[in-house]
Structure 1
Amino acid sequence: MKILTMYDMGLAIRDARDELGLTQEQLASKAHVSRSWLAQVETGKAAFDFRRVLMVMAALNQHIEVLPNE
């Protein structure tokens, strides 16, 4: 999935969480972030701290790859 906006990032996190069968509360606990922050990120409403996004991605056993525009 290409991540071009904060909304795209939120969808990627939500989709990965759903695939693992985790609730927002479970993922937030695993990633050491608040459930309310996670909910805002998943809906694209939060201007998020990239450090926390990396913590969530690590908790999902996912990574972010930066590629040149094509």
Structure 2
Amino acid sequence: MIVTNAEQLGALLRRARKERGLTQAQVAATARVSRQWVVAAEAGAPTARLDLTLDVLRAVGLVVDVVPDEPDDAIETVLGRARG
């Protein structure tokens, strides 16, 4: 799934948590964050710390896979221009 904003990431987190039958408190304990932090993340809080977000995603069995938003050849063109 491609996620482009905090609300989408929060919805994905909530769905994964529920699919695994986990409570917000269980996820919080596993990721070593507060339950309120999980609530805010599921609501799409845009200021969540990246390290904590990754811990919470791991707690529900998700990982982040970063891929280019553009075709590879377009990225190479941009990099080539930047290099001179």
8 Å Cα contact 1:31/1:55 also seen in 2: yes
Q: Structure 1 residue 46: deviation in Å?
A: 4.5
Distance apart, 1:61 and its partner CA: 2.2
**Greater CA deviation, 58-67 or 16-25?**
58-67
CA distance in 1, matches of 2:63, 2:45: 22
Q: Which has the larger radius of gyration?
A: 2
The reply on whether 1:55 has 2:62 as its aligned counterpart is: no
CA distance in 2, matches of 1:37, 1:61: 18
Could you state the TM-score of these two structures normalised by the residue count of structure 1? 0.90
Q: How many residues align?
A: 70
Moved over 3 A (4+): none
Identical counterparts, % of pairs: 36
Structure 2's unaligned 5+ residue stretches are: 71-84
Structure with a larger share of its residues in helix? 2
Match of 1:6 in 2: 6
Q: CA RMSD in A?
A: 1.2
Is the Cα contact below 8 Å between 2:16 and 2:61 reproduced in 1?
Answer: no
1:38 equivalenced with 2:38 (yes/no): yes
